[in-house]
Amino acid sequence: MEAVDDDLNRAMMLDGNAVAGRFFALFGAEMTANLTECASCGQDHMMGALHAFTHAPGVVLRCPSCEAVMFRLVETPRGIYFDARGAAFVRIER
Amino acid sequence: MNRPLQWQIATIAAIRPETPGVKTFTLDLPDWMPHRPGQHYDLRLRAVDGYEAQRSYSIASAPETKGQVQLTIERINDGEVSGFLHDVAVAGDRIEVRGPIGGYFVWEVPLGGPLMLIAGGSGVVPLMAMLRHRAAAGSQVPARLLFSARSYDDLIFREELDRLGADGSGLEVVYTLTRSQPSGWRGYGRRIDPAMLATVAGPLGRTPLCFICGPTLLVEAAANGLAEIGVPVSRIRTERFGPSGS
């Protein structure tokens, strides 16, 4: 059963691109070409290259190198929760 | 670049069927701006009770087409937004959109090549924007498109791709049909694999700039296959759109 769930999760996986609009709205800037560093493995990736899991009330972005959770984004009618503790940094291009 | 991202009301100017499950929606935008080929628009539907559904759809047209964008959209079974667009929407209807969005899966002529584009099904849409832009700009950047579809009739943009591939600009279009092939078919007839990638991408050298878009499993197979034949991971960009419609 777990293997089936894993396969399904994998098949539903998207890229950071898929949440580009939400990130643009949140940061006021195009974010997908910006670099971010995984706090777990230290690899740098562009935001658009992260693995995105969007089939839940929130969005989870994972590191494509080590699969650690880097970002969680939950939007409610009254506010937005943005958990970035899995990222060492996000570099926002001027 | 960093203008605010606002929702605007687009008007559907035209709807054109492409294949049995795919239509192109041409939108007039009051606040049009040139996009970067590969970018998408978010589209939002709102019911009177406040229920909202939002999806991202890739732009198929080139930025050289001013004032309008074309979104080529596959009808997904039980798809709330694609179902509405395919079955209910008519020219003249107004819908909410915001964009263009995305800076990762984009290609413009100055980024150079050689260009290796790999599409599965409606994953060809953002790659079509790149090829239309390449043609509109008169670019001779060597380019290849490997396009996987279930059958001949599922090859979106087939006539236009055949025309672009024969215009002498250095584009070659290769098809693979995974489910059924017409008699006398001379393209591939199987899923994308490393041997196919080596044959198609090989002539572009060691470091082609690769864009892969399609169902997640196809994207994984193509990206892993390119890495296997020695293409540096830094030259491979992917856009997954989840499970395939079938």
> Is residue B5 left, alpha or beta, with left meaning phi > 0 and alpha meaning psi from -120 to 50?
beta
Q: Look at residue B3 and tell me if it is in a domain.
A: no
pLDDT at B246: 38
Do residue B237 and residue B203 come from a single domain?
A: yes
Q: Is this complex scored with an ipTM above 0.95?
A: no
Most distant CA pair in chain A, distance = 47
The helix/strand/coil state of B119 is strand
- The average pLDDT across A5-22 equals 83
Q: Single out the residue in B70, B101, B132 at which a domain terminates.
A: B101
Residue ranges of A 2-31 with Cβ closer than 8 A to chain B? 10-18, 20-21, 24-25, 28-31
Q: What percent of chain A has pLDDT over 90?
A: 64
Structure confidence at residue B51 (pLDDT)? 83
**Domains of chain A, residue spans:** 8-91
**How many domains are there within chain B?**
2
Q: Tell me whether residue B97 is in a domain.
A: yes
State residue B3's pLDDT score.
65
**Are B2 and A30 inside 8 Å of each other by CB?**
yes
pLDDT at A15 over 60: yes
Whether B172 maps to a domain, the answer reads: yes
Evaluate the omega torsion of the peptide bond into residue B100 and state whether it is cis, within 30 degrees of 0.
yes
Contacts of B53 (CB under 8 A, 6+ apart): B44, B45, B80, B81
Same domain assignment for residues B157 and B219: yes
Residue B192 sits in which domain range?
A: 109-241
Q: Is residue B133 part of a domain?
A: yes
Looking at the fold, whether B140 and B176 belong to one and the same domain comes out as yes
pLDDT of residue B117: 98
Residues of B in contact with A16 (CB under 8 A): 104
Nearest CA in chain B to A24: B5
Q: Do A17 and B239 touch (CB under 8 A)?
A: yes
Q: What is the CATH number of the domain that holds B38?
A: 2.40.30.10
**Within this chain, do residues B120 and B216 fall inside the same structural domain, yes or no?**
yes
CA distance B178 to B186: 13
Predicted local confidence at residue A9, as pLDDT: 76
pLDDT along chain B (246 residues), means of 10: 79 96 96 95 89 90 95 90 93 95 94 96 97 96 97 97 95 97 96 96 94 94 95 94 58
Q: Which of B51, B66, B101 is the last residue of a domain?
A: B101
- State whether A18 and B56 contact (CB < 8 Å): yes
Amino acid at B118: I
Tokens of B185: 């078919």
Q: What are the C-alpha distances in Å from A92 to residues A3, A24, B136?
A: 38, 11, 32
Degrees, nearest 5: CA angle B182-B183-B188: 65
**Does A57 touch chain B if contact means CB atoms closer than 8 Å?**
no
Q: Does the pLDDT value for residue A46 go beyond 60?
A: yes
pTM across the whole model: 0.91
pLDDT, one tens digit per residue, over A79-88 is 999 999 999 9
Q: Which two tokens stand for residue B161?
A: 């791709």
H or E stretch including B162?
helix B158-165
Give the closest residue to B151 by CA, choosing from B131, B178, B120, B111. Answer: B178
Chain B residues inside the 8 Å CB shell of A59: none
